[in-house]
Amino acid sequence: MDSFPDRYGTWAVVAGASEGLGEAFAAALAERGMNVVMVARRGRILEAIGERLAAEHGIAVRCLELDLADAAFPGALREATRDLELGVLVYNAAFVPMGPFLDNDEDAIEAAVDVNVRGPLRLVRALAPALKERGRGAVVLMSSLSGLQGSPHISVYAASKAFNTIFAEALWYELIPHGIDVAACVSGAVPTPGYLERFGRKVPGMLSAEEAVRQTLDRLGKGPRIVPGRINRFAHQLVRRLLPRRTAIRLIAKSTKHLG
């Protein structure tokens, strides 16, 4: 199999790269020989991660301190990468309002829509045309098993993840004739700092960020929906094909009832 740079291009963009899955994507792509553009609001953290990846893997890194909720970020990102041969685009950032929907702060709901929905739309619209023009590339949008059904107490987050799955599936069909692999990574729980802060406990099927990312990158090009982990794939099929909708919602509610 061709290397990632040969297959897709020499540079990857990872949005939401300052911790957790985003940091793991940046590290895994660097390990596979790709130069990395790391994007997040926390510039100092990005610089520290970027220096480590450059030293460990001998790759080039660009760190962009941008707010993914800002409508101006796609233009700034496009301008900052205009001279690069982009190959892989990863959108990982997410905002999670917690608690009953009617108790959610309006600003938090708007932030979730900006980061979780408008963010990936803007990123793909800004950068994917260059991939199409070159005739190769890949797009990975992070989704979640919580988006398979209504998820009480994280309703906006779960709905946004369902959006990303469906958006990625449509892009997969539209872009594969142009040499671009697209996939939604429908992840189960991952013990990232954000997850541990909110949920504070491990659950069956939990994978490390590094393992979830490895499985995702290994399966790029094999279909529009990637579910890392055997237990998570079983849960995915169970929810989609066997469980009544009401039962699936009640099950997820048991694990989220303490939130908010």
Is 8 considered catalytic here?
no
Is 157 considered catalytic here?
yes
Please name the residues in contact with 147: beta carbons below 8 A apart, sequence gap of 6 or more. Answer: 158, 159, 160, 161, 162, 163, 164, 165, 186
Catalytic residue among 91, 161, 202, 257: 161
Where are the strands (E) in 98-194, listed by range? 137-144, 180-187
Distances (CA, A) of 17 to 22, 74, 107: 4, 16, 23
Contact 181, 224 (CB under 8 A): no
- Alpha-carbon distance 30 to 243, whole Å? 40
Would the CA dihedral through 232, 122, 174, 241 be positive or negative? positive
SS3 66: coil
User: Hunting for tokens 């496009």 — which residue is that?
Assistant: 78
Length of the chain (residues): 260
Catalytic residue among 8, 91, 157, 195: 157
Catalytic residues: 157, 161
